Each structure stands twice: as structure tokens, then as C-alpha cells.
Amino acid sequence: MALGVRKYAKEIGIPIITDKKLARKNYATHRRYDYVSFENIDEILRLLLWLEDVENAGQPVQDEQLSSEDKFIEGEDTKIENKDDNLKN
């Protein structure tokens, strides 16, 4: 199902944020509809605040426009995919 959502978002030009480290941590420690734990809340809030900034700006964000601070966790695990990129796992 997640791959279908990613494919559809890419088709209509919606940026896709991939933070594998955070996603794996949440998947391992949470169940569907659980509250976010205190251990993960800072990372989740930074993600949500960044998304709000993007929405308020009203324009899609290209990977080159992001600083390492905007990527939440520095490294290969965090990336932005958009309509022009190939899906990467």
C-alpha cells in the first residue's frame, strides 16, 4: 500500500519525504494509531514543522534547496523525492 501511495504522490508532483531511520524506529516501536512516544517526538515535530513551512510557502521543494538541518537527520537515510526523481528504497 505504501508503494502505491508513493507512486501516486510522485505522479501528481507531491514531494515525498523519506527518513528511513525514523520510519524504521517508529515501525519497530509503534502500532497503527498509537501515540508518538517521547523518544521520537522531537524528530516527528521537526518533520511536521518543516512540512508546515513547505505548505505555507506553496511550492514544492527540490532536494538542492534543503540544508542538512532541514533534512532532520543528516545522512543517507533522509531524502526528498519528487516527480523528477526515480523512486529509491
The pLDDT tens digits of the residues spanning 52-81 come to 888 888 766 565 555 545 555 444 555 555
Residue 28 has a pLDDT of: 92
Least trusted range by pLDDT, from 13-17, 22-26, 44-48, 79-83: 79-83
Cell output for 18? 523519506
pTM above 0.75, yes or no: no
Look over the chain and give the mean of its residue pLDDT values, rounded to a whole number: 75
Q: Answer yes or no: are the C-beta atoms of 7 and 73 closer than 8 Å.
A: no
Residue 83: which of 12, 17, 18 has the closest Cα? 12
Question: Residue for cell digits 534547496?
Answer: 65
Question: Residue for cell digits 505555507?
Answer: 56
Residue 87 has a pLDDT of: 45
Residue 88 has a pLDDT of: 46
